[in-house]
Structure 1
Amino acid sequence: MPNSEPVRVAKYALEEYLRQRSVISVPEWVSEELTARRAGCFVSIHTRDGSLRGCIGTIYPTEENVALEIINNAISASTRDPRFSPISVGELPCLDISVDILGLPEETTVAELNPKMFGVIVTLGNRKGVLLPDLEGVETVQQQLRIALRKAGIRESEDYRIFRFAVERYY
């Protein structure tokens, strides 16, 4: 199955950066759907066995369009995810990339969460934890919240705020 356009943009940006150490401009072949729209996005990189190798994203848009958001987040996911060493050129053939384009977050309650449909953001002061939706091994709202809270360094007993967001996931 051919890759979606957002994934083709991410792969191209990643390959060019790792081979040439240059950040690409938006390629001419990118559609208006990605150049006329602004949105946050996450780029996730996995090994063929499904192990996470890098994931970086933006909740809100930081670039002039989603194509640039994908380009920058693809490079960051491959080189700046603090959980992993930078990806090497030799790894490229063995990696799978997905791109999640985010809808705007909305404040919500635990009762309105659904880990298959919505990502979650928990905040308290300047602490923030984000978890994408429909992740392997995350079946319940409690699991989703526990992981997001741990990422934020927030205890379950603290008075935190919850936001949810929808994504368009591309492979």
Structure 2
Amino acid sequence: MVTEDDGKEAVKLARDAIETYLETGDFVDPSRFELSSIFKEYRGVFVTLNKEGNLRGCIGHPYPDSQLDNAIVDSAISAATRDPRFPPVELPEMDIITIEVTVLTQPEFIEVPPEELPENVEVGKHGLIVKKGYYQGLLLPQVATEQGFDSSEFLSHTCLKAGLSPDEWRKDAQVYCFEGQIFKENTPRGEILEEDFEKACR
């Protein structure tokens, strides 16, 4: 899991990446920050922007396909400038925008017989990845809570997301779980706190 100090650095990196890009058009080089070794790990991450209590952008790397530091920079800039639901953020807006970074843990293979998978998936805590051959699908932890899924339904919907039949988890698909940690500013450029992920998903 990410420490509180690392979570604060993640949010600071996200803000610096956005403001630098909006001001100069340049991408921040994470190596100029004194970051711990966890930022070199391959992790999934989402960056969310909120403006006066309303969503202003949210984009991320759901899969651990990049180093955490690079994924934060890319996700932060994308959330500010490439979320198709919103116009690009303008630099003065950053004075009234709060930043939230959700860091995903490394996916772990759930090594149990298929019939025992539901009892090993904790709704509201676990996100899921289902893999079979070239097919792969991911659903974040909050999806099950938001949709009212039980663990079996969550497994089935993750299979559907992967383009598989909903009962593939009962056969030979590989199922992985992961968790998330949310770190967010309480005010623009203000104190950075860790939020209860399960509470945030409800």
1:121 aligned residue: 129
Per-residue CA shift, 1:130-160, capped at 9, x if unaligned? Answer: 2222466255435644554454333314454
1:45 aligned residue: 48
2:146 aligned residue: 137
Retained in 2: the 8 A contact 1:121–1:148?
Answer: yes
Find 1:170's aligned residue among 183, 186, 198.
183
2:89 aligned residue: 88
1:57 aligned residue: 61
Change (3 A) 1:161 1:12: same
Retained in 2: the 8 A contact 1:41–1:70?
Answer: no
SS in 2 for 1:137: helix
> What amino acid does structure 2 have at the position aligned with 1:26?
P
Aligned-partner Cα distance in 1 for 2:152–2:87? 32
Q: Tell me the TM-score normalized by structure 2.
A: 0.63
1:161 and 2:174 correspond: yes
1:24 aligned residue: 28
Gaps of 5+ in 2: 1-6, 111-116, 185-202
Aligned-partner Cα distance in 1 for 2:96–2:131? 35
Aligned-partner Cα distance in 2 for 1:84–1:127? 28
**Bigger radius of gyration, 1 or 2?**
2
Q: Tell me the TM-score normalized by structure 1.
A: 0.72
Aligned-partner Cα distance in 2 for 1:138–1:145? 13
Aligned-partner Cα distance in 2 for 1:149–1:14? 35
2:103 aligned residue: 101
Change (3 A) 1:84 1:30: farther
- How far residue 4 of structure 1 moved from its aligned partner, in angstroms, is 2.1
- How far residue 26 of structure 1 moved from its aligned partner, in angstroms, is 1.7
Find 1:8's aligned residue among 12, 25, 33.
12
Change (3 A) 1:98 1:155: farther
2:3 aligned residue: none
Larger relative helix fraction: 2
Change (3 A) 1:162 1:45: same
- RMSD (Å) for aligned C-alpha atoms: 3.2
Aligned-partner Cα distance in 2 for 1:73–1:115? 26
